[in-house]
A and B are shown apart, each in its own frame.
Chain A
Amino acid sequence: LAKTTQPISMDSYEGQEVNITCSHNNIATNDYITWYQQFPSQGPRFIIQGYKTKVTNEVASLFIPADRKSSTLSLPRVSLSDTAVYYCLVGDGTGTASKLTFGTGTRLQVTL
């Protein structure tokens, strides 16, 4: 089972780039890496997913090194509304959910 480790919390000022790293040393060959965002009293929301190298969408980038033992979520120019908990999830795409492992989450606080 791919255990994930993330920093407990991070602080940033508005307008800065934020990088959150997740460690997943036991990632399996078929595993994808997915990041979710969660606001208080809400369910998590999908941000980005990748398998290797770099993935970019309209809200974030995901960097995955060649050994895939870690991944970094990059949020460009954060705003106050990005204050949330960010989770890293490792698992395969087959739906065998017993292999899904959510990280403990990183609480990001953005201030002016």
Chain B
Amino acid sequence: NAGVTQTPKFRVLKTGQSMTLLCAQDMNHEYMYWYRQDPGMGLRLIHYSVGEGTTAKGEVPDGYNVSRLKKQNFLLGLESAAPSQTSVYFCASRDMYREPYEQYFGPGTRLTVT
């Protein structure tokens, strides 16, 4: 039971390049989330999904796209990377009904855009 895994762990991009971050969970959770965390700051929600085939915007969605084609995977895409997207990206998942409503976080992806 690996929990929530994220691929890759580190990545350096040049401005204008694109990439996809992969999040996978093996807990059969319905809800999945993508956050970004800038240095010394809290987490800000980018996009989230309440089930396979559904996605929705969070607090800071601009410049990102997401897809949830399979229940266990949640992909975060950057179409044209910008230096402002340099951050640590965390994925999380949560069971729909079980209390407490606990989010399980992945280890993060550290992205640098030059």
Q: Interface residues, chain A, CB within 8 Å of chain B? A: 32, 34, 36, 41-46, 48-49, 87, 91, 93, 95-98, 100, 102-105
CB contacts (< 8 Å) of B48 on chain A: these are: 95, 97-98
- Which of B31, B45, B58, B108 meets A43, CB within 8 Å? B108
27 A/B residue pairs, CB under 8 Å, sorted by A: A34-B100, A34-B101, A34-B102, A36-B103, A43-B4, A43-B90, A43-B92, A43-B106, A45-B105, A46-B100, A46-B104, A49-B99, A49-B101, A49-B102, A91-B101, A95-B48, A95-B50, A95-B96, A96-B50, A97-B31, A97-B56, A97-B58, A98-B45, A98-B48, A98-B58, A98-B59, A104-B42
Q: Interface residues, chain B, CB within 8 Å of chain A? A: 4, 30-31, 33, 35, 41-45, 48, 50, 56-59, 90, 92, 94, 96, 99-108
Most buried by B among A46, A97, A105: A97
Q: Known contacts A97-B31, A97-B33, A97-B56; is A103 also within 8 Å of B42 by CB? A: yes
